[in-house]
Structures are given as structure tokens and as C-alpha cells.
Structure 1
Amino acid sequence: MNYSIHKVLLSTLAAMVLVFAADISQAAQHARNCATNSERTAGLRILEVRKSFDDLLFKVSPSQQKNILLLGINTLEGPCAGEIYASKMGQVAFSDGEVFSKNSDGEWVYFRNDPELMPLSSIDPSHYPSTNNASFIMASSVDQSSIKGESSTLSIGIWRMLDSYIVAAFIKRKNVYMPPVEVARSAKPLKSVTFFPSPDSNGGVLSLLQNSESETSIITLGWDHSALSKILRSQQ
């Protein structure tokens, strides 16, 4: 091999090793910086932004458009914003299940470990139905009913496909899953979906955490699930 070419190859390899080492060091430093409660919430902000579904590459399923209302889109900013796993009604949860909420002074405080915001590692995907060519990510409880001693549940979950992420609701009755009903889909990655029920109707608030390389967004939707709850409580 020509000496000059050999020298160039060695120099290139050395530069690649240095870049790889720097990336590892940076990742390790970031993990350390997001380890404690004070570090996690330092500089953390939830900003309201004027964006549309099209801006987020997010689409509501045609069958659910009459049941979905866009309540708001927010962007999470801060050194540890990318570590947030889920959000619900102003609360944010990190991947280890630690939940934070703002107090009356606008300061982030440790709230509690909320089972409804638990991370993927504590959910068994085998408990949830599969969709064609999709990988299950997580799910949240929406409604439940008991008929003649048989418990039925309504949940909403996220599945990952090759080119998109699907948000779908599904009913489990007598340990049998009914086919999922698609609610929405996103071309950008979705980390989680949570549900906060309305006290006086078959509806509530969905919070979806959408994460891309450039930003982390919270999509907040009003969702009327009365038709699905009617099926849930039917005796068929």
C-alpha cells in the first residue's frame, strides 16, 4: 500500500476513535447531569407553541375526528427534557418513574411515583394485543366495567410500525382482546400516551409525548370515548 494512503487511513481512523470517545464521554456526562431531582428540573420549561397537527406530522384517524379536540401543543425545553418519558395534566415523569409537578410558586417539586406514568420497563407487552407488523410500546387505562362478575377494561396504547407510530384504543373482555381501534398516528416517534378522565362524562384528556431529534412535544387532546365505553358495558 502506498505510504501516503496508509498514513491518511491511519489519521482518519484516529480521528474516528476520538469522535467516538467524545460521544461516549458526552453521553456519560449527560447521564450524570440528569441523575438528581435538582439537576433534572434545572432549566426545565413547558412552553405553549402555535403549531398544527401537520407541523408535527400527526394525524387523527378519520373515524375519530368527531371525538378528538386539540387542546394544546407544548414544547419541553431544558438540558434533561429529552429524558422525560410521559406527561399528564402538567406533571412530567422520567424514565425511572419519578414524577414532578409545579407548585403555586411555579417551581418544580417531586410529586410522587405515579403508576399510570410508569415506564416501559415495568409493563409486560404480552398483556396487550398486537397489531399487524407493529411493536407494542406502552398503554394506559381509560375505563373499566364489571358485568356478571366478569371484568372488562378499555385502554389506549402506542405501537411502532416501520414508518409511523399508531395510537389505538382496545377493549379486553373475559381475557380476550377485541381488535384495536386506531385513534391517531404520528410520523415522528411517540414515547407515551396518558389519560386523565373527565369526572362527569365518558371522555377525558389524552397527553402524548412526541420526541424527535430537534424537540420534545406534548400533544394534549380532548377525547370522547363514549362509543367505546358503550361497547365495554354491553353484554354481547
Structure 2
Amino acid sequence: MATLSFEGHAKGSIEKVAVEIEKLVIAGWTGRDVEALNHHIEELKAIGVQPPSKVPLYYRVAADLVTQAEAIQVLGDDSSGEVEPVLVGAADRLWVTVGSDHTDRKVESYGVAVAKQVCPKVVARTAWRFEEVEPHWDKLLLRSFIVEAGGRTLYQEGGVAKIRSPRDLILGWQGEKRLPAGVAMFCGTLPSIGAIRASSRFEMELEDPVLGRSLRHAYDVEALPVVS
């Protein structure tokens, strides 16, 4: 298990939240828009990833892969991040934060489920009460940035309205619309701007333009040498 510790922001107040994660779920192929989903499938096919057997798919990965670190280590230069809304079930309520389903793209080309297990899954240290954003969920915005040619480059950007709603994803996973305590669920991502590519740093953001606030986190990526 892993313990996630958040500053929970709730209508101007801040509370400390700690959740022991017993189950980590990565929801994949979650696009609402068929054209956008097919675009994401095609961009992954371009790097050798086989299309999914159905959509959405729910990948269970080891709970101890989830981290709030500001730096991670990966093997080789073939991994990359992708920004996602992340739901966290606590004993008293549902929280939402922002995270990165960091994935080894070389491994993904022969086994998506295996690739999900290879890299850490990074989440922010701040979160919102889900009930505060659920009424205007489709207005939330996702962004990510990478370091490229010595500068900060916009890598992903768009509305969460392009992704299936959290309640639908929870329902699709376990048949009811409540996420149990101790479960963290990554909700899916947006297509990259340009090719999927690695970076030594990944920055992510979930913006709420209605309440005028954002969740942000960034982490550095150290590529370890591949030896044989």
C-alpha cells in the first residue's frame, strides 16, 4: 500500500487528508469523443501500441506505484508522462487531484498492461472535494508541459469534457457510482500536441475556471542506463 497525504481545499478552508491506497486503477481509452479517441489510438499505434480490445479498459496496477514525489527514476529514455484527473476515495468523501500516468512507451508497444506496471504514477499534493466540482465538471481544464530544446513546451491541453465523466468511469469499473475508500483511479488523458515523446521534466495542471483555482504538480525524470 501507499499513503497519499493531501492539502484538501474546500470552499476557502484547507484540511489535511491522508488516505491509504489499497487499489490503484488506471482507466484507459476513456475519451467521450470517438474522433478524439481514435486519434489517441492512432498516435499510440504509430509507436507500436496495439488497439484496445474494448473501451474503456481498467488496468489494475500495484498500489505502491503511486507517489507524490518531485522526482522519479525510470529505465531508459522511452517513457513519458500524461496528465489525468485522479479520483481518490477517502472514508468520508471523494477527492479529485491531478496526476500523471507515466508510462514506458517501448514496453507499451508489446503490452499495455505490463507498461502500466513499470513506471511510478505521480499525483499532486493538493486536492479538491469532488462534490464542489461535480456540478461544473465539464468546465475543468487539463494541461501539461515538458522541457524541450531548453525551453518549456505545452504538451497537452484541453477540457475534461473530452473524457468520460467520473461517475461513468466508476460505474464501468465496479457497477456502482461510489468509489470505495482506499481506491485511487486515474481517469484518462488527452492527445499530445505533436508526437508522444520523453522529457526530463513533466508539469501538470487541473484548472477550475469556475472557482478560479488550479491543482499543479511537477516532477523531474531521471533515466537510468539500460545495461545487459
Q: TM-score with structure 1 length normalisation?
A: 0.31
Q: TM-score with structure 2 length normalisation?
A: 0.32
Structure showing greater Rg: 1
Higher relative contact order structure (alpha carbons within 8 Å, sequence separation ≥ 6):
2
More helix by share: 1
